[in-house]
Structure 1
């Protein structure tokens, strides 16, 4: 049945979903029109919100670009290539490949979202080198594991409210992760998704006559021909000692961070880990640079699109449109249904504000007073917003950009399959938040 249902979804998306850059331009116009029409903002005010906020994601944009580049460099190192190849050899047919990449992506995304995006995509490429499988569904399966990130160890909302002095601490205090990430209802949702997401991906596998395959040589990264170093500078570029003298201290810093200082994973630490592992495993600066030149080719979408999303977020927040949207859902809720409506409102808002932390800053002032007034569970409301933010990432191409860049595909190639997952996972998460 899912194979049958996925066909029209894939065709619909392939026909009507524009390139993510066009998508963000359309979202910009929709957000601006809504701010003018609904919030009665003047066109000049909206223009100022947009322009003033356009560069607010520069730090995050660089972090995301580094997720792509450092992850690619690490995965292209000879030892990691061998490891991925060995793991991929466990799948000897298309069905096993789809299930395996789904599970690996889910596990990696639950640990850290940046880690999951890169690992899932790179592992999918390695599977495609060894197994004849629909490449679109394989990459969609790698991306679908991202659904669990906000219910995992790096979930920004549960980590924010577990931090002393967070912006809403005077209202709700500090809520430990035992009541959010490691609560029974959240772990149950994660466990069900770990079962359902791989199965749904497997059941969407098209017949061979309808599948889209890629040849192995199209997946291999360009490797420059090696020449013996002649000049002193070339000896430095091919020096293993130079790479290790810098790379090994970087890894020692990470050991200190995790073991002695008790630090955790965040985006900067993930990028630091990827970079210095790549530095050591590539052995020479020249090999690392060759990998870097190949990696940066896929970063164009991140560079051009993230500033537009920053502008959209500014319009939504500064005009009051995000708050109005949240209040509209809250107004029809009671204590039992508030988690559900928080989840739905967060899912809708995520299309325009694709940032977990930014979204919580917008929705918390609306959701928290509503939870207190209705007697609803504050930890569950927070996790409902977190799950809503993660859920519609299956439809929002913003987070798929690193995956698509690594895979060499366009959003329309995978989003049809993700649309089916959106419906099924939405039902599971909504039921879990409502009844558990």
Structure 2
């Protein structure tokens, strides 16, 4: 009796990862095991700066006094940053925006494509608002994670969602430094005498700045493609979160007669008339770039827009309540950074000099007109790892950095952009600004930092090289007072 030989079934060989993807996976595995919580970094920063101040001759009394005196100094800026997060979250979770996110999540056709798509959306939106970018991109990752047909690595997608803040945020309207320099009413008197007023046309709207931003976006997308794991190497969203849970739940039905105003749009309409009336007056009385340069106006715009998009007060309040946990890291850690800043600038040591003065003296000593961009960029990146201020430390650094730019005849607007581009670099591995995004994704910093570290390795030479190259196309212009 003849025997039947079964026809071999064709099988798809397992995907072989490229060397960049393998390196990213090894970095991710290391970070998942060894990377500490963001709060640990903040405390370590305090200790390192305190020890450095003591080593440079500051007394223990001066050091602890500076730390305590500086602990509350960043409270106004802290609240502004909290409202950046809340405003971004409220807008990103509005029903109409949630539907937009679901529509966008249908576009990618592969796991790698989804990771790159998230990165592009995150980076472009961060140029308008980094707070909105973190939440919007995070919710997009969750929406993509619910698709069973994608082998999208949830960790790589989370890292891609963070690239707005890790790569280009400070090159757009989110730049606190550019906003400060464009708004003379917000500038300390000592700074305005050094720099004058620098409108956006001299900072973020320079063609050199736009070229640098475009280069960062293209390279970041390429790195996302090369480092995203595929197939069996990819860890999907189901391994980290409940993918059946809706990220923006519907508001519960009204249960008491006293709640009718919470569910009625009447209050929203009346409050929106006031809010948008003020905004209309603000933008009518000054150029748009000057109006949006105020961080208070910037936050007010997002809150008013979020209120209107949610329509019912109950929906708006629920969104604010969901946003608040994402601000806990800002609230508890910013006072520590205020203490660090004060120890740098107020704890005097040998010769009556502070640690910041010693750093600035060293900076001016080693920099030249040709090397200013590289030296300042490296300096800002290193300091930004210890003081991730979202641009706030520009107030501390600007007087001596911009004075050096004047003495070396460096374009003042480009000096601001050097700071902006370099300040984003430490964000790629410092977990502080990851906190709002991680809250949306349900991840830990250790889950995504292996992938962002690979981005950092490429971004450092790219940013410093382009800062030097493009800076050579600009000529110095004396400060302009208004």
The size of the alignment, in residue pairs, is 434
- How far 1:266 sits from its partner (Å)? 4.4
Counterpart position of 2:54: 36
Q: Is residue 2:194 matched to residue 1:194?
A: no
Give 1:113's aligned residue. Answer: 130
Partner of 2:102: 85
1:102–1:142 CA contact under 8 A, matched in 2: yes
Which residue in 2 is equivalent to 1:156?
A: 176
1:366 deviates by 3.0
- Post-superposition offset of 1:149: 2.0
For 1:176 and 1:287, locate their aligned partners in 2 and report how far apart those are by CA, in whole Å: 38
- Residue aligned with 1:181, SS: coil
Alignment of 1:366 onto 2:383 = no
Which of 359, 362, 367 aligns to 1:325? It is: 359
Task: Name the TM-score, length of structure 2 as normaliser.
Answer: 0.82
The question of whether the paired residues in 2 share the 8 Å contact of 1:105 and 1:143 is answered with yes
What stretches of structure 2 of length at least 5 have no aligned partner?
Answer: 1-18, 348-353, 471-482
Counterparts in 2 of 1:302 and 1:381: CA distance versus 1, 3 Å: closer
Going from structure 1 to structure 2, the CA distance change for 1:223 and 1:368 (only over 3 Å counts) comes to closer
Task: Give the greater-gyration-radius structure (CA).
Answer: 2
Deviation at 1:260, TM superposition (A): 5.5
Partner of 1:300: 328
* SS in structure 2 at match of 1:111: coil
Shift of residue 370, structure 1, vs aligned partner: 3.2
Alpha-carbon offset, residue 317 of structure 1? 2.2
Question: What is the aligned partner in structure 1 of residue 157 from structure 2?
Answer: 138
SS in 2 for 1:400: helix
The residue aligned with 1:59 is: 76
The 2-side partners of 1:273 and 1:160 are apart by 18
2: distance between equivalents of 1:400 and 1:267? 21
Preserved CA contact (<8 Å) 1:189 1:428: no
Question: C-alpha offsets along residues 336-364 of structure 1, whole Å, 9 cap, x if unaligned?
Answer: 11210000001111122222554333333
For 2:192 and 2:323, the matched residues in 1 are separated by 42
Correspondences of 1:17-416 after superposition (within 5 Å):
17-37=35-55, 39-130=56-147, 131-146=150-165, 147-164=167-184, 166=187, 167-215=190-238, 217=243, 219-221=245-247, 223=249, 226-227=252-253, 229=255, 231-259=256-284, 261-262=286-287, 263-264=291-292, 266-319=294-347, 320-355=354-389, 357-416=391-450
Using the TM superposition, give the Cα deviation of residue 270 of structure 1 relative to its aligned residue in structure 2, in angstroms.
4.0
8 Å contact from structure 1 (residues 222, 294) kept in 2: no
Structure 1: runs of 5+ lacking an equivalent: none
CA contact (8 A) 2:384 2:423 kept: yes
CA contact (8 A) 2:88 2:129 kept: no
